Amino acid sequence: MTPYTASEQRYEAMKYNRCGNSGLKLPAISLGLWHNFGGVDSYERGRAMVRRAFDLGITHFDLANNYGPPPGSAEEMFGAMMKDDLTPYRDEMIISTKAGYLMWPGPYGDFGSKKYLVSSLDQSLKRMKLDYVDIFYHHRPDPNTPLEETMSALDLIVRQGKALYVGISNYKPEEARQAIRILKSLGTPCLIHQPSYSMMNRWVEDGLLDVLEEEGVGSIVFSPLFKGILTDRYLDGIPADSRAAGQSVFLKREDITEEVIGKVRKLNDLAQERGQKLSQMALAWVLRGGRVTSALIGASKVSQIEDAAGAVNNLEFSAEELARIDAILNA
């Protein structure tokens, strides 16, 4: 590839939302490197996707220590992209990573101890060739480590200059409230929570979004396309090259039932009436009303990133459209 120079128009179309009560703004669409950026994947394809995302104003790139496969390889690939393309733009980027799942053998390579979190971030920074990350998350609650220890580790990491902000992921409402208040008492506010959320997975509406609003914490939602089901990918069956056809651990053939696809087809009809692709409408839907700061997408090709960025062109829903969506989903 030729040397990378970012588009001069990169900030013209993307929408940026303030994250909770902080001074930080995040793009409405962020790019996650959970899939398709590991050691088994094409570097040049991943590089093309990250370049295009940044050219479209997607300034936030989300990773975790265990992303790959193998674990750690997504961070290594991103570190190569920093070296090859992105170092001149570091101050225009929000880079996040996480720790909370198994990374190495023994008692110190999993969950939420201070030992694990500090060691894991040190490894992540080396893989990504960074001095600091913008956001560091605890990836999941640890039932066996006191929450005070886990949150004090996040506070320590900020005080060490290894992260500018901290967040939590996969915490239920009451767990989240406790974590947020502990961090506040330590003097390192919780910036953000990262839960799953989509039209077909609405658990965050049962208390979590209320907690985040009350506490002034932002949110970035993963799987807003519900494992790819909320796209036009499966309208006419299961394509041979799809995730479902390959029996992915994240999406299985039996998940694509006729009942589910019947709903997806009706949602697709509504998206077409709105002048959007279904994927764009699904992203707009999680962002509706301003309760969610950013929608975190995954991608396997550049065109998917372009489609996602286009969602910001139509983020408004009428009351009638929202009622139709609810009726389709609840039928």
Tens digit of each residue's pLDDT (9 = 90 or more) over 267-322 = 999 999 999 999 999 999 999 999 999 999 999 999 999 999 999 999 999 999 99
Percentage, residues of the chain above pLDDT 70: 94
Assigned domain for 24 exists: yes
Assigned domain for 68 exists: yes
Assigned domain for 71 exists: yes
State yes or no: pLDDT of 190 exceeds 70. yes
- Please name the amino acid found at residue 291: R
pLDDT band at 86 (very low <50, low <70, confident <90, very high): very high
| CA–CA gap between residue 291 and residue 216 (Å, rounded) | 11
**What's the half-sphere exposure (Cβ side, CA atoms, 13 Å) at 48?**
14
Q: What is the mean pLDDT of residues 256-260?
A: 84
Assigned domain for 57 exists: yes
140: domain CATH number is 3.20.20.100
Assigned domain for 218 exists: yes
Assigned domain for 121 exists: yes
What is the pairing mode between strands 25-27 and 29-32? unpaired
Domain that holds residue 174: 16-227+282-300
Domain count, the chain: 1
What is the pairing mode between strands 16-18 and 25-27? antiparallel
State yes or no: pLDDT of 240 exceeds 60. no
Assigned domain for 256 exists: no
Q: How far is Cα of residue 112 from the mean position of the Cα atoms in its chain?
A: 20
pLDDT band at 176 (very low <50, low <70, confident <90, very high): very high
| 155's tokens | 């506070």
Assigned domain for 116 exists: yes
At 257 the pLDDT is 82
Summarised one tens digit per residue, pLDDT across range 3-56 is 899 999 999 999 999 999 999 999 999 999 999 999 999 999 999 999 999 999
Percentage, residues of the chain above pLDDT 90: 89
At 259 the pLDDT is 87
pLDDT band at 235 (very low <50, low <70, confident <90, very high): confident
At 249 the pLDDT is 54
More confident site: 248 or 73: 73
State yes or no: pLDDT of 250 exceeds 70. no
